[in-house]
Amino acid sequence: MSEAKPSYDAARIEPARQAAWAERGDYEAPRPAEGQPRIYVKPSSPFTSGNLHMGHVRDYSIGDAYARFRRARGDAVLFGFGFDAFGLPAELAAIERQVLPAEWVERCGDRMLGQMKRLGFSFDYDRVFYSSDEGQYRWSQWLFLALYEMGMIYRDDATVDWCDTCQTTLASIQVEEGGTCWRCHNEVRLIRRPTWFLKVTDHVEENDENLSGLDDWDELSLATQRYIIGRTEGVELDLRAPDGRGMTVFSPHRRALARARFVLLSPRHPEVESWVTDPAVGEELEGLRSGGWERSARDARSVPVIDTGETVLGPAGEELPVLVSPLVDARFGPTAALGIPDVDEADAEIAARVDRVGWQPPEGEREGGGEDPDSVPTPEVEGARETKRYRANDFSISRQRSWGTPIPVVNCDACGVVPVPEADLPVALPRDLMPSGEGNPLAERADFVEVECPSCGAAARRETDTLDCHFDALFLWVPSAVPPEARAEQMFTHPDLKQWLPAERLVAGNDSGGFVFDQRTVTKALRDHGEFAFMADGEPFAGCLFHEMVIADGRKMSKHLGNVVDPDELVERYGADTVRLAVLYAAGPAKTLNWSDGAVRFASRFLRNLWTYVQDRVAALPDAVHDPEAAADTEHMRDRLRKWCDNGLGRITEDTAELQMHKSVRNLTRLFERIQDFEKRVLKRRGQLDRADAEAQLAALALLARALVPFAPHAGEELLIALGQGEDALCSWPESADVPVKPESSATTS
């Protein structure tokens, strides 16, 4: 055989396979057959930044391998996503380039979709959407109104950065170090202004309790939920002021309650006003609220503390000063907590700062709080009840920016805040709005602002704040499950939702914990509201895999450091399959992937060697002769090869089902080594391969290629074609290693 065998050429085979998949309809979410398992694999929703980065490649390589694996096993698979397209980064990029944000977003999306297709990700591209599309944000507005009606959205004052020169509020990333404006470099100041908030506290307990039942969530994703929820176990008891007013206080130190020295109130405690009777203290509280509350317990030395001058009576009748500090929020949420400096380090810091508490660190202890509360016998306190507190806080959802979903309310002098009737949605964002970084361009558009009050008909003004893109993300996991043509009418009511939701698996970066927590909250709200009643536990994701980020040279990739790895360059040089294999192989999902050329060189070598090896063995088969005696002599070797294949397949199947793709890839490379080892042993024993050996080896290589398909789909399928396998082998997962051992089997087939 002197035929020239083509060497591995990703640039040739990859476009060809991608065309075949499109033809075959691989990408489309199928209509599931009766009784067929149906799964929705939800990857993360990218911002329309204009470029996939290596973190995306990692995310989608894991998700795509899983989607392909489940498809090959006979499940109906929906693998779809949409772009998170509103928000500041797109607005700033548009200002910089002097293009309309809508145009910029479209350009970026097109480019990113091109990159995804080039990498061979098998998304249902017909279902891709942009959160900034009118048909999409109409439903953000619908959701806003539904949550508003349920009391889960409210308006309150919040502190924001403000530039007097630019007449605009600034996001924190627009405030330079030293507190100056990114645009004009003048000093920025904090102002108070009305802001919309989403209430998460109603569902926080259920969100916490459900965690123990989420068996298909990996440890990283569960840990982030626990952290965000921030549960503290403890006790609560009812105290009274000398004048009879009551207050319920919490403490995690159930055995030390009798040693309380003060009470610390959250500035957001519902009854805080009633404990602030002195106008001077009221002013102080107002100032404190403007200063922001996001402080951690470690800041107990510097966190603001206000002495209200008020007193409540402790468990033993002792007088406890009532103090106010956002330290409570950072630890236990908007509650009241007993300050027990003897046993609590943060409380000791606070006590040392307030003279009226009159507390001194115990002898020999400078810091206080070091005492083990369980070692000191203290009197039982009557009336203490077991309870818990949660740190998770409501968060602001509105921004003074123009590239976002318009908030569907009207401000009327007579009626106050009036929701826009559902029939009048969407409140359209003018597509030709050009942000400048100065002022709020939306507020200057008379055609947008001036409106009749939906309630009384008088002249009124539209709300000109927009929703933060975090709000759009509350339901970014929903639209893929609805056919595009039905989204205008049935985004939350289409029958297919019951078929695909909850998503079988969310694959996302470990910085997505906040999004996921909020999505879990909103699912429960919509369950209570009726639309998602079929998800009884209110959980949008039955399974979840969080992966760590991709870094380079031990550091976060950044243009500044010059260590950004460009996926396009890698694909150009090595091909999509090599890049995908390298990303999967280099680290398990729970580990940070420190990118190095080692992984890509390893993957490249593996694919090239496998390619050449298969081509050579296929070409050599016609020359292999069958000799019954030789075949009998190597039967035990073929049997061992079959066992290796069986073992390898079992492991790869198990690891892939658990999304531990790094193990799958490692076992694929090991299986290849075993197959080569088989040949070496036969050659050593007999000098050549019998036809029975050659056929067993080709069967083993076909098995390897089939198991390779989810990870390196182009090369895997092309190898199967070279091995003479039919369409069925390309599209199905092997259930067992079909490696012929008995010489008879080969005698009958040759």
Sheet holding 416-419, edge to edge: 416-419, 409-412, 459-462, 450-452
Among 173, 456, 459, 747, binds Zn ion (CB under 5 A): 456
CB of 455 to Zn ion, least distance (A): 4
CB of 271 to Zn ion, least distance (A): 33
Within 12-51, which residues bind Zn ion (CB under 5 A)? none
**Segment interacting with Zn ion, rule: CB under 5 A, options 39-47, 49-57, 453-461, 462-470:** 453-461
CB of 441 to Zn ion, least distance (A): 15
Among 11, 316, 414, 417, binds Zn ion (CB under 5 A): 414
For Zn ion, give the closer residue by CB, 181 or 584: 181
CB of 86 to Zn ion, least distance (A): 23
C-alpha pair distances (Å), 372 with each of 255, 326, 338, 345, 368: 10, 25, 17, 11, 11
For Zn ion, give the closer residue by CB, 414 or 488: 414
Structure tokens at 186: 């003048």
Q: Is 420 in the site for Zn ion (CB under 5 A)?
A: no
Q: Total residues at the site for Zn ion (CB under 5 A)?
A: 12
Among 163, 336, 581, 586, binds Zn ion (CB under 5 A): 163
Q: Show the site string, 505-544: x = touches Zn ion by CB under 5 A, - = not.
A: ----------------------------------------
CB of 427 to Zn ion, least distance (A): 16
Among 41, 260, 350, 453, binds Zn ion (CB under 5 A): 453
| Nearest alpha carbon to residue 467 among 229, 168, 200, 139 | 139
| Nearest alpha carbon to residue 63 among 23, 128, 116, 25 | 116
CB of 593 to Zn ion, least distance (A): 39
For Zn ion, give the closer residue by CB, 443 or 731: 443
How many C-alpha atoms does 46 have within 13 Å on its Cβ side? 24
Phi first, then psi: give them for residue 737, nearest 5 degrees. -80, 110
For Zn ion, give the closer residue by CB, 384 or 443: 443
95-100 CB contacts, 8 Å cutoff, 24+ apart: 95/435, 95/436, 95/437, 98/434, 100/431, 100/432, 100/433, 100/434
Three-state secondary structure string covering 241-288: CCCCCEEEEEECCHHHHHHCCEEEECCCCCCHHHHCCCHHHHHHHHHH
CB of 406 to Zn ion, least distance (A): 19
**Residue at 606: amino acid letter:** F
Q: Is 412 in the site for Zn ion (CB under 5 A)?
A: yes
For Zn ion, give the closer residue by CB, 414 or 683: 414
- Distance (Å, whole) CA 102 – CA 430: 10
Contact residues for 396 (Cβ-Cβ < 8 A; gap 6+) = 158, 195, 196, 197, 468
For Zn ion, give the closer residue by CB, 455 or 594: 455
3-class DSSP assignment, residue 175: strand
CB of 179 to Zn ion, least distance (A): 12
3-class DSSP assignment, residue 381: coil
Give the chain's end-to-end CA distance (angstroms, integer): 19
Angle between helices 691-708 and 661-686 (to 10 degrees): 170
For Zn ion, give the closer residue by CB, 415 or 619: 415
Q: Can the peptide bond before residue 435 be classed as cis, meaning omega within 30 degrees of 0?
A: no
CB of 169 to Zn ion, least distance (A): 11
Angle between helices 101-118 and 567-574 (to 10 degrees): 30
CB of 414 to Zn ion, least distance (A): 4
For Zn ion, give the closer residue by CB, 399 or 617: 399
CB of 167 to Zn ion, least distance (A): 8
CB of 465 to Zn ion, least distance (A): 19
CB of 421 to Zn ion, least distance (A): 13
**Segment interacting with Zn ion, rule: CB under 5 A, options 92-100, 158-166, 171-179, 381-389:** 158-166
Q: Is 166 in the site for Zn ion (CB under 5 A)?
A: yes
CB of 181 to Zn ion, least distance (A): 3
Sheet holding 405-406, edge to edge: 398-399, 466-467, 405-406
For Zn ion, give the closer residue by CB, 455 or 499: 455
CB of 187 to Zn ion, least distance (A): 9
Phi first, then psi: give them for residue 302, nearest 5 degrees. -115, -10
CB of 457 to Zn ion, least distance (A): 7
For Zn ion, give the closer residue by CB, 166 or 631: 166
For Zn ion, give the closer residue by CB, 183 or 663: 183
Q: Is 410 in the site for Zn ion (CB under 5 A)?
A: no
For Zn ion, give the closer residue by CB, 174 or 519: 174
Among 114, 154, 165, 605, binds Zn ion (CB under 5 A): 165
Tell me how many helices (H) and strands (E) the chain has. Answer: 25, 28
Q: Is 455 in the site for Zn ion (CB under 5 A)?
A: yes
**Segment interacting with Zn ion, rule: CB under 5 A, options 20-28, 355-363, 413-421, 696-704:** 413-421
CB of 437 to Zn ion, least distance (A): 8
Q: Show the site string, 360-399: x = touches Zn ion by CB under 5 A, - = not.
A: ----------------------------------------
Contact residues for 598 (Cβ-Cβ < 8 A; gap 6+) = none
Q: Is 451 in the site for Zn ion (CB under 5 A)?
A: no
- Decide if 255 contacts 277 (C-beta within 8 A): no
| Nearest alpha carbon to residue 260 among 341, 323, 332, 346 | 341
DSSP state letters, 541-601 = BSEEEEE--EEETTEE--TTTT-PPPHHHHHHHH-HHHHHHHHHHH--TTS-EEE-HHHHH
For Zn ion, give the closer residue by CB, 165 or 688: 165
For Zn ion, give the closer residue by CB, 172 or 748: 172
| Nearest alpha carbon to residue 314 among 365, 368, 379, 397 | 379
**Segment interacting with Zn ion, rule: CB under 5 A, options 77-85, 163-171, 347-355, 443-451:** 163-171
Within 169-228, which residues bind Zn ion (CB under 5 A)? 181, 183-184
Structure tokens at 462: 């539209």
CB of 191 to Zn ion, least distance (A): 14
Residue 201 region by backbone torsions, left for phi larger than 0, else alpha for psi between -120 and 50, else beta: alpha
For Zn ion, give the closer residue by CB, 138 or 401: 401
Q: Look at the block and give the residue holding tokens 């039955």.
A: 542
- Distance (Å, whole) CA 508 – CA 145: 28
Among 258, 415, 449, 549, binds Zn ion (CB under 5 A): 415
- Decide if 515 contacts 544 (C-beta within 8 A): no
C-alpha pair distances (Å), 429 with each of 96, 120, 411: 21, 35, 17
**Residue at 251: amino acid letter:** S
For Zn ion, give the closer residue by CB, 119 or 412: 412
What is the β-pairing status of strands 306-313 and 385-390? Answer: unpaired
**Segment interacting with Zn ion, rule: CB under 5 A, options 166-174, 369-377, 474-482, 614-622:** 166-174
| Nearest alpha carbon to residue 710 among 278, 108, 68 | 68
Q: Is 720 in the site for Zn ion (CB under 5 A)?
A: no
- Distance (Å, whole) CA 732 – CA 215: 27
Q: Show the site string, 113-152: x = touches Zn ion by CB under 5 A, - = not.
A: ----------------------------------------
**Interface residue list for Zn ion (CB under 5 A):** 163, 165-166, 181, 183-184, 412, 414-415, 453, 455-456
